[in-house]
Amino acid sequence: MNNFKNILERESKGSNRIYLYREGNYWTGYEQSAHKLRKMIKGLQPKCHSINNAIWLTRVEIPFDSLPKEHIIINSKDECILDASFLA
Protein backbone atom coordinates (compact mmCIF):
# COMPACT_ATOMS: atom_id res chain seq x y z
CA MET A 1 0.00 0.00 0.00
CA ASN A 2 1.27 3.46 -0.87
CA ASN A 3 1.96 6.16 1.71
CA PHE A 4 -1.29 8.11 1.61
CA LYS A 5 0.22 11.14 3.33
CA ASN A 6 2.62 11.55 0.39
CA ILE A 7 -0.16 10.92 -2.12
CA LEU A 8 -2.41 13.56 -0.54
CA GLU A 9 0.46 16.05 -0.42
CA ARG A 10 1.10 15.55 -4.13
CA GLU A 11 -2.58 15.82 -4.97
CA SER A 12 -3.01 19.05 -3.01
CA LYS A 13 -0.48 20.90 -5.18
CA GLY A 14 -2.90 21.11 -8.10
CA SER A 15 -0.37 20.41 -10.85
CA ASN A 16 -1.09 19.55 -14.48
CA ARG A 17 -0.05 15.97 -13.88
CA ILE A 18 -1.87 12.77 -13.13
CA TYR A 19 -0.13 10.57 -10.57
CA LEU A 20 -0.84 6.85 -10.77
CA TYR A 21 0.36 4.08 -8.47
CA ARG A 22 0.68 0.36 -9.17
CA GLU A 23 -1.76 -1.64 -7.07
CA GLY A 24 -2.18 -5.26 -8.07
CA ASN A 25 -2.94 -5.42 -11.80
CA TYR A 26 -4.00 -1.78 -12.09
CA TRP A 27 -2.74 1.76 -12.10
CA THR A 28 -4.65 3.61 -9.39
CA GLY A 29 -5.22 7.36 -9.14
CA TYR A 30 -6.56 9.28 -6.16
CA GLU A 31 -8.39 12.56 -5.64
CA GLN A 32 -7.41 15.20 -8.27
CA SER A 33 -5.57 12.63 -10.37
CA ALA A 34 -8.67 10.43 -10.33
CA HIS A 35 -10.86 13.30 -11.55
CA LYS A 36 -8.39 14.30 -14.28
CA LEU A 37 -8.05 10.71 -15.46
CA ARG A 38 -11.85 10.46 -15.72
CA LYS A 39 -11.82 13.50 -18.02
CA MET A 40 -9.08 11.93 -20.11
CA ILE A 41 -10.61 8.45 -20.33
CA LYS A 42 -14.38 8.41 -20.60
CA GLY A 43 -16.22 5.65 -18.80
CA LEU A 44 -13.96 5.28 -15.76
CA GLN A 45 -16.07 4.88 -12.63
CA PRO A 46 -14.79 6.47 -9.42
CA LYS A 47 -14.86 4.55 -6.18
CA CYS A 48 -14.54 5.63 -2.59
CA HIS A 49 -11.49 4.32 -0.79
CA SER A 50 -11.33 4.28 3.00
CA ILE A 51 -8.23 4.65 5.13
CA ASN A 52 -9.01 3.19 8.56
CA ASN A 53 -12.65 4.23 8.09
CA ALA A 54 -11.54 7.78 8.90
CA ILE A 55 -10.48 9.31 5.58
CA TRP A 56 -12.34 8.75 2.32
CA LEU A 57 -10.61 9.29 -1.01
CA THR A 58 -11.89 9.29 -4.57
CA ARG A 59 -10.13 6.56 -6.52
CA VAL A 60 -10.07 5.17 -10.06
CA GLU A 61 -8.37 2.08 -11.43
CA ILE A 62 -7.16 1.47 -14.96
CA PRO A 63 -5.56 -1.69 -16.41
CA PHE A 64 -1.87 -1.37 -17.23
CA ASP A 65 -2.37 -1.57 -20.98
CA SER A 66 -5.12 1.09 -21.10
CA LEU A 67 -2.99 4.15 -20.42
CA PRO A 68 -2.97 6.84 -23.13
CA LYS A 69 0.68 6.44 -24.11
CA GLU A 70 0.91 9.86 -25.77
CA HIS A 71 0.49 11.52 -22.34
CA ILE A 72 3.00 9.45 -20.33
CA ILE A 73 5.81 11.52 -18.78
CA ILE A 74 7.27 8.87 -16.44
CA ASN A 75 6.48 5.16 -16.35
CA SER A 76 8.36 3.13 -13.76
CA LYS A 77 7.61 -0.15 -12.03
CA ASP A 78 5.52 1.39 -9.23
CA GLU A 79 4.46 4.78 -10.56
CA CYS A 80 3.24 6.46 -13.71
CA ILE A 81 2.90 10.20 -14.31
CA LEU A 82 0.76 11.58 -17.13
CA ASP A 83 0.63 15.07 -18.59
CA ALA A 84 -2.81 16.60 -18.06
CA SER A 85 -2.04 20.17 -19.14
CA PHE A 86 -4.37 19.87 -22.13
CA LEU A 87 -7.32 19.34 -19.74
CA ALA A 88 -7.03 22.83 -18.25
Alpha helix ranges (H) inside 1-88: 4-12, 31-40
Residue 1 has pLDDT above 60, yes or no: no
Identity at 28, one-letter amino acid code: T
- List, for residues 23-69, the tens digit of each pLDDT value: 999 999 999 999 999 999 988 888 888 877 777 788 999 998 888 89
Task: Name the more confident of 3 and 32.
Answer: 32
pLDDT tens digits along 4-24 = 788 888 888 878 999 999 999
Cα(85)–Cα(87) distance, integer angstroms: 5
Domain boundaries, the chain: 4-87
